[in-house]
Amino acid sequence: MKPVTYKPIGIIRSPFRETRGTPIQPAAGKGVRGHVELFPEFIEGLKDLDSFSHIMLIFHLHLSRKVKLTAKPYMENEEHGIFAIRGPSRPNPIGISRVRLTGIKGNILYIQDLDIVDGTPLLDIKPWVPAFDAEENIRTGWLEKNVHKLPEAKDDGRFSE
């Protein structure tokens, strides 16, 4: 199989200068503001995006240094398979975050509820649509007993050491 290569379409800007201390999910970054600097050649693709309240940012986890197929996630002391957690040390370090879109001016998208490190390369943007993205009767595996920890959970550096 041929290698897959992606070219960033922009840069995500946030108040987080390093992974340590960054919220681990957008829900834990409630109210945190930032913006996306979309490269000028992609501005036309923003047409009608301003009519959505939330968007999905797909990005390259550029600070991820090693691949681990099992790891201890932030809200657990037990190891799980990398595909059962949302940690950054993945075979393909791709991240996704649903953020609130608060405005667009030119090539700048203003966002909040942010859990992304400043300078992260943006790969794609998609509108978030509850009818497409929310399901009923969801099982959350090992996280069911830990999800209550989310509001206080922050990156403690375990994936960047």
What is the rounded distance in angstroms from the CA atom of residue 87 to the CA atom of residue 74? 8
10-149 topology per CATH: Elongation Factor Tu (Ef-tu); domain 3 (2.40.30)
pLDDT digits (tens, 9 = 90+) for 99-154: 999 999 999 999 999 999 999 999 999 999 988 877 777 776 766 776 676 667 77
List, as one string, the DSSP characters of 117-158.
-TTEEEEEEEE--HHHH--SS---GGGGGTGGGGGG-B--ST
Q: Are 23 and 74 in contact (CB under 8 A)?
A: no
Instruction: Compare 37 and 76 and report the one with higher pLDDT.
Output: 37
Task: Give the Å distances, CA to CA, from 47 to 52, 55, 110.
Answer: 11, 14, 15
pLDDT at res. 151: 67
pLDDT at res. 57: 98
What is the rounded distance in angstroms from the CA atom of residue 64 to the CA atom of residue 86? 12
pLDDT digits (tens, 9 = 90+) for 59-76: 999 998 889 899 888 778
What is the rounded distance in angstroms from the CA atom of residue 143 to the CA atom of residue 159? 18
Per-domain residue ranges of the chain: 10-149
